[in-house]
Amino acid sequence: MKRKLRVLVVDDSALMRKLITQILERDESIEVVGTAMDGTFGLRKLEDLKPDVVTMDLDMPRMDGMAMLRQIMRSSRVPVIVVSALSTTGAHATFKALALGAFDFVTKPKSAASADMEAIASELIAKVKVAIQAGKPDVPAPLVDSLPRVEKPADRIRLRATRIVAIGVSTGGPNALQMLLSQLPADFPAGIVIVQHMPEGFTSLFARRLDECCAIEVKEAASGDLIYAGRALIAPGNRHLKVRRMPLGDMIILSDEPRRNGHRPSADVLFSSVAAEFGPDSTGLIMTGMGEDGADGLGDIQSAGGFTIAQDEASCVVFGMPRAAIERNHVTRVASLDSLPKLLMETREAVTGRRAGVANDFQEKVCNTIR
């Protein structure tokens, strides 16, 4: 008989412990081996029960979830899924937990009633399974509580972007995007549009956190926002993001169309829109994440003459989204996370040279790395 996946549930609410246990044990491959009411009891049961993954509330008495998470990251490094309050305070704490090494998070509904918990059931089960498959991170997470602040000039000159970079990312995205965007210079020549799978209410705070540590401008997108060089616009939670080229400036269009691949925002929606509007003036980048969202849309960018990139498996928290795009032959270049900033800077020159019929070493390198 196949061994079940062992989960420890840590939450100060007895009702939440019961409901999360009931949700997880609907799946025959999952067994909740124990529960704990705070971090102190949680660490004891972690040592005794040896679970494969921990689900954890952050706001608990005595030892809170953040302190327990730090202990886990220093010792056993069991994957942790945060069950976060859907609030500004909860979002702040969640992003800190992700920076400390938490695998991913789900948001608690406003009510802990059984019917309301149904909204997160499939998401929680899926993330537990993927967390266990991903296993322990190879490199210790950076134990930092704050991000370095980058001062931006008040008189920043905004230039119309001659090229657009579209990014689709999910699980593992907050830390990966921080690393990528913080390495881009203020005069980055392209506009950037991003779909990060994240709940409504979290993306605004996420954008502000990134803006503080990046030389480029980062903001949550709003309909009518103009796409400038050196500006990154992140799709709001629960809204699709599209782009439109206009005589007076390229802009953002937000949409409430049905979910695509179970997601809103969807990377497929973004990529398809970028392909239709920008064609060969576009770069599509698909990064760490579970599922297949973005794979077909990346193919649209490739078919339109754009350049397509996938983050490599070794640097992904979850390789699902990049793998799906690679297997469909929609990826021109596979690259590690730490090489992406330089690659995005070089891509514009490489594509310009390709159109002019100029053979260059970079383009030859690209062709040699197609997978």
DSSP string for 102-159: --EEEEPPSS--HHHHHHHHHHHHHHHHHHHHH-S-SSPPP--SSPPP----TTPPP-
Question: Confidence class of residue 114 from pLDDT cuts 50, 70 and 90?
Answer: low
- Looking at the fold, whether 67 and 206 belong to one and the same domain comes out as no
- Looking at the fold, whether 295 and 352 belong to one and the same domain comes out as yes
Predicted confidence (pLDDT) at residue 119 exceeds the cutoff of 70: yes
Predicted confidence (pLDDT) at residue 183 exceeds the cutoff of 60: yes
- Looking at the fold, whether 231 and 332 belong to one and the same domain comes out as yes
Tell me, yes or no, whether 149 lies in a domain.
Answer: no
Contact call for residues 156 and 55 (beta carbons, < 8 A): no
Name the H helices within the chain: 14-24, 39-49, 65-74, 88-100, 114-134, 173-182, 203-213, 267-278, 295-303, 320-327, 340-355, 361-368
- Domain with residue 73: its CATH number is 3.40.50.2300
Range of lowest pLDDT (14-18, 107-111, 319-323): 107-111
Predicted confidence (pLDDT) at residue 366 exceeds the cutoff of 50: no
Higher local confidence (pLDDT), 154 or 353:
154
Q: How much is the average pLDDT of 234-249?
A: 95
Q: Computed from CA positions of residues 27, 28, 30, 36, in that sequence, does the dihedral angle turn out positive or negative?
A: positive
In three-state secondary structure terms, 165 is strand
The position carrying tokens 């003459």 is 305
Tell me, yes or no, whether 151 lies in a domain.
Answer: no
Mean pLDDT of the chain: 88
Tell me, yes or no, whether 324 lies in a domain.
Answer: yes
Q: Indicate the residue among 82, 113, 134 that finishes a domain.
A: 134
Tell me, yes or no, whether 148 lies in a domain.
Answer: no
* DSSP state, residue 160: B
- Looking at the fold, whether 176 and 60 belong to one and the same domain comes out as no
- Domain with residue 241: its CATH number is 3.40.50.180
Predicted confidence (pLDDT) at residue 290 exceeds the cutoff of 70: yes
Q: Indicate the residue among 89, 113, 134 that finishes a domain.
A: 134
The reported pLDDT for the residue numbered 175 is: 93
Cα–Cα distance, 328 to 332 (Å, whole number): 11
Kindly list the catalytic residues.
170, 197, 293
The reported pLDDT for the residue numbered 90 is: 84
Take residue 42 and report the two structure tokens written for it. Answer: 């949680």
Question: Confidence class of residue 116 from pLDDT cuts 50, 70 and 90?
Answer: low
- Looking at the fold, whether 204 and 346 belong to one and the same domain comes out as yes
Cα–Cα distance, 33 to 50 (Å, whole number): 9
- Looking at the fold, whether 209 and 315 belong to one and the same domain comes out as yes
Tell me, yes or no, whether 144 lies in a domain.
Answer: no
Question: Confidence class of residue 243 from pLDDT cuts 50, 70 and 90?
Answer: very high
Domain extent, residue 111, equals 5-134
- Looking at the fold, whether 169 and 93 belong to one and the same domain comes out as no
- Looking at the fold, whether 110 and 174 belong to one and the same domain comes out as no
Tell me, yes or no, whether 186 lies in a domain.
Answer: yes
- Looking at the fold, whether 120 and 14 belong to one and the same domain comes out as yes
- Looking at the fold, whether 119 and 191 belong to one and the same domain comes out as no
Tally of domains in the chain: 2
- Looking at the fold, whether 91 and 185 belong to one and the same domain comes out as no
Predicted confidence (pLDDT) at residue 135 exceeds the cutoff of 90: no
Tell me, yes or no, whether 141 lies in a domain.
Answer: no
- Looking at the fold, whether 230 and 353 belong to one and the same domain comes out as yes
The position carrying tokens 């390709």 is 354
Take residue 304 and report the two structure tokens written for it. Answer: 């339109």
Tell me, yes or no, whether 152 lies in a domain.
Answer: no
**Residues in Cβ contact with 113 at an 8 Å cutoff, skipping those fewer than 6 apart:** none
